[in-house]
Amino acid sequence: MKDKNTVYLTQEGLDDLKKELDELINVKRPENIQAIKEARSLGDLSENAEYDAARNEQAVIEARIKQLEKMLENVSIITDVSNDKVSIGNTVAIKYVDDDDEEEYKIVGSQEADPFESKISNESPIAQALFDHKVGDVVTVESPNGSYEIEIIDIK
């Protein structure tokens, strides 16, 4: 269903990544460069904790910038979401067959997944089981803790 390098994002997720990249390039990187200059001015670099900390922060910032740029090169925006069959971008109401508990999840790309906001990754066992199924279908979810069945109640 997907190329290994493709990053699936909603428009909101894309906007968030662009905002983070802009913040890193235009705010964090210049602040870090200034911190390195100030630490250098303190003298001996071999025992300069401020310098080491600033260099470590620089490595983290640069790595995240590269990661974000690579993600943005391979982004696929989730659009034209159909409510007929479950796919990435849908919000799906499900019922666990064993205990009648009901939940609602939005299926998003792995970069946007946030279980606290009921956003699950398209790579998760539940999403994988739900894909291409319709309202009323009962599907088996294969999880590390064993398999279980869920019924699709609604697709939005």
β partners of residue 151: 95, 138
> CA-CA distances (angstroms) from residue 126 to 87, 104, 141?
12, 11, 6
- Does residue 142 carry a pLDDT above 70? yes
pLDDT of residue 69: 96
Based on the number of CB atoms within 10 Å of its own CB, is 76 exposed (0-12), middle (13-18) or buried (19 or more)? middle
Average per-residue pLDDT in the chain? Answer: 92
Rounded to two decimals, what is the model's pTM? 0.75
- Does residue 65 carry a pLDDT above 90? yes
Three-class secondary structure of residue 91 per DSSP: strand
pLDDT of residue 35: 94
pLDDT of residue 3: 60
Query: Which domains are present in the chain?
Result: 7-77 (1.10.287.180), 91-155 (3.10.50.30)
